[in-house]
C-alpha cells in the first residue's frame, strides 16, 4: 500500500495496441519505474506508426502486393534496422534516446518470447549508439545559498514557506524528486530530523537524515500547511499532493531568479548534496546509503565530480594561469 501511493506518476498510460498493453503489465510485474515504462510504451507506438506508414507507402507503390501490417509482433530485423536508420537520419534524437528506443524494442521482443509468441528477437543484434558518461552537474555552495536565500513576491505565506522547505529538503537530504513528492506526514520526523522515503529500484524503504535548517523550514511550513489537505506533506492547489510539474516549476523559478544555469533542475540539487557531502569529508558508503544507490560504483562518480571542481578552481585561481 505504501509503495502504491508513492507511484503518483504511474497514471495510467494505456496503449490501444493490445500487445503493448500486455507488455505494460509485464513491465509493472518487473517493477520497472513508471516513467521508463511509459517511455517504452511510447517508443513501441512510434515503431508501430513507422511500420504502418511503411506498409501504406508500399501499398501505394504496388497495389497488387501490399505488405500487410500485422502489428508489432511480426516485425523483422530488417524492419527494426530501417526504423533505427530513420531515427539516426532525422538527427532529432540524442544517442541516449536512441539507445532507449532500441532497448524498448529489445525488451518487448524478449517479452514476446517469454509469452511464446516468437522464437527470436529481431532487435537483439541492432547496434546501439555509444553514450559518453557525462558527469552530473553540481552547484557551488555559493550558488546554493543564493537559491535558498531567494524570495519571490506575490506568494502566500503557505506557498513561500512550502517552497523554502522544498528547496532545503532537496539540498539537505539529496532525495529524488519522486521521493520528495511521495512524502506523507507520517514519513517526516522533525524531532529526529529524518525522512522515511520509498524509492530507487524495487521501491525500497530507507531512512534519510536532514539538516537542522531543513527541519526548521519544514516545521515552519507544517504550521501553515492547509488543514483540509490529504496525507501528503507537500501539497498544491486544493490540498492535493504536489505534482511533478509543479515541483519542477518551483525549482526552476527559484534557480532562474537566483541567476543559476538554465539547465539546473530538482535533480541538480540531489547531485549537489552528494558532491558537497563528499567534498566535506563524508564517507562514500554513507553517501550511498543516503542517496539509496544499489551499487557503490554509482556513488563513486561524485569523486570525479569533486576532482573536476578542484581542477576548475585551481585553473581559475592560480596567478600563473590567470596572467596567461
Contact by Cβ (8 Å): 43, 104: yes
- Cell (9 digits) for 108: 518487448
pLDDT, mean of residues 3-12: 43
Question: Is 253 a residue whose pLDDT tops 90?
Answer: yes
3-state secondary structure of 312: helix
Confidence of residue 227 (pLDDT cuts 50, 70, 90): confident
pLDDT at 132: 64
Catalytic residue among 100, 241, 270, 288: 270
With a threshold of 0.75, does the pTM exceed it?
no
Q: Which long-range contacts (CB under 8 A, 24 or more apart) does 245-254 make?
A: 247/166, 247/177, 247/180, 247/181, 248/177, 250/163, 250/166, 251/166, 251/167, 251/170, 253/152, 254/147, 254/150, 254/152, 254/163, 254/167
Residue with more model confidence, 136 or 217: 217
Burial code of 93-130, b = ≥16 C-beta within 10 A, e = fewer? eeeeebebbbbbbbbbbebbeeeeebeebbbeebeeee
Catalytic residue among 176, 193, 276, 288: 176
pLDDT, mean of residues 106-115: 94
- Is the Cα dihedral 148, 249, 176, 142 positive or negative? negative
Residue 248 is among the residues annotated as catalytic for this protein: no
pLDDT for 146-185, tens place per residue?
999 999 999 999 999 999 999 999 999 999 999 999 999 9
The pLDDT mean for the chain works out to 84
Nearest to 158 by CA among 37, 68, 242, 243: 242
Catalytic residue among 118, 137, 206, 267: 267
Among 188-197, 207-216, 232-241, whose mean pLDDT is lowest?
232-241
> What are 36's strand-pairing partners?
none
Catalytic residue among 201, 204, 212, 249: 201
pLDDT at 190: 96
Contact by Cβ (8 Å): 183, 172: no
Residue 8 is among the residues annotated as catalytic for this protein: no
pLDDT, mean of residues 133-146: 84
Nearest to 277 by CA among 306, 307, 311, 312: 306
pLDDT at 63: 44
Q: Which long-range contacts (CB under 8 A, 24 or more apart) does 319-322 make?
A: none
pLDDT, mean of residues 258-287: 87
pLDDT at 60: 46
Residue 201 is among the residues annotated as catalytic for this protein: yes
What percent of the chain is modeled with pLDDT above 90?
A: 53
pLDDT at 14: 65
Residue 204 is among the residues annotated as catalytic for this protein: no
Residue 302 is among the residues annotated as catalytic for this protein: yes
Residue 64 is among the residues annotated as catalytic for this protein: no
Helix axes 266-279, 157-173, angle to 10 degrees: 50
pLDDT for 58-103, tens place per residue?
544 444 444 445 678 989 999 999 999 999 888 788 888 999 999 9
Question: Is 121 a residue whose pLDDT tops 50?
Answer: yes
pLDDT for 275-304, tens place per residue?
999 888 888 888 899 998 888 887 888 887
Amino acid at each position: 500500500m505504501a509503495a502504491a501511493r508513492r507511484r503518483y506518476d504511474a497514471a495510467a498510460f494505456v496503449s490501444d495496441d493490445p500487445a503493448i498493453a500486455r507488455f505494460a503489465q509485464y513491465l509493472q510485474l518487473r517493477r520497472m519505474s513508471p516513467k521508463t515504462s511509459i517511455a517504452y510504451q511510447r517508443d513501441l507506438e512510434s515503431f508501430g506508426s513507422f511500420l504502418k506508414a511503411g506498409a501504406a507507402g508500399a501499398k501505394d507503390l504496388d497495389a497488387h502486393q501490399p505488405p500487410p501490417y500485422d502489428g508489432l509482433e511480426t516485425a523483422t530485423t530488417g524492419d527494426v534496422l530501417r526504423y533505427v536508420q530513420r531515427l539516426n537520419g532525422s538527427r532529432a534524437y540524442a544517442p541516449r534516446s536512441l539507445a532507449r528506443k532500441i532497448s524498448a524494442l529489445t525488451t518487448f521482443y524478449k517479452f514476446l518470447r517469454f509469452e511464446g509468441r516468437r522464437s527470436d528477437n529481431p532487435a537483439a543484434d541492432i547496434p546501439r549508439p555509444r553514450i559518453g558518461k557525462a558527469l552530473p552537474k553540481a552547484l557551488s555552495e555559493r550558488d546554493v545559498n543564493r537559491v535558498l536565500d531567494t524570495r519571490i513576491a506575490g506568494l502566500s505565506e503557505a506557498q513561500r514557506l512550502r517552497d523554502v522547505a522544498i528547496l532545503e529538503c532537496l539540498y539537505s537530504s539529496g532525495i529524488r524528486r519522486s521521493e520528495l513528492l511521495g512524502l506523507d506526514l507520517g514519513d517526516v520526523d522533525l524531532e529526529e530530523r529524518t525522512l522515511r522515503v520509498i524509492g530507487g529500484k524495487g521501491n525500497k524503504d530507507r531512512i534519510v537524515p536532514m539538516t537542522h535548517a531543513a527541519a526548521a523550514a519544514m516545521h515552519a511550513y507544517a504550521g501553515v500547511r492547509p488543514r483540509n489537505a490529504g496525507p501528503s506533506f507537500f501539497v498544491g492547489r486544493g490540498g492535493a499532493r504536489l505534482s511533478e510539474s509543479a515541483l519542477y516549476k518551483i525549482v526552476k523559478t527559484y534557480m532562474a531568479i537566483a541567476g543559476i544555469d538554465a539547465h539546473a533542475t530538482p535533480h541538480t540539487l540531489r547531485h549537489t548534496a552528494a558532491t558537497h557531502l563528499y567534498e566535506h569529508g563524508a564517507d562514500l558508503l554513507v553517501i550511498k546509503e543516503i542517496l539509496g544507490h544499489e551499487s557503490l560504483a554509482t556513488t563513486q562518480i561524485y569523486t570525479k565530480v569533486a576532482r573536476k571542481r578542484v581542477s576548475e578552481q585551481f585553473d581559475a585561481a592560480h596567478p600563473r594561469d590567470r596572467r596567461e
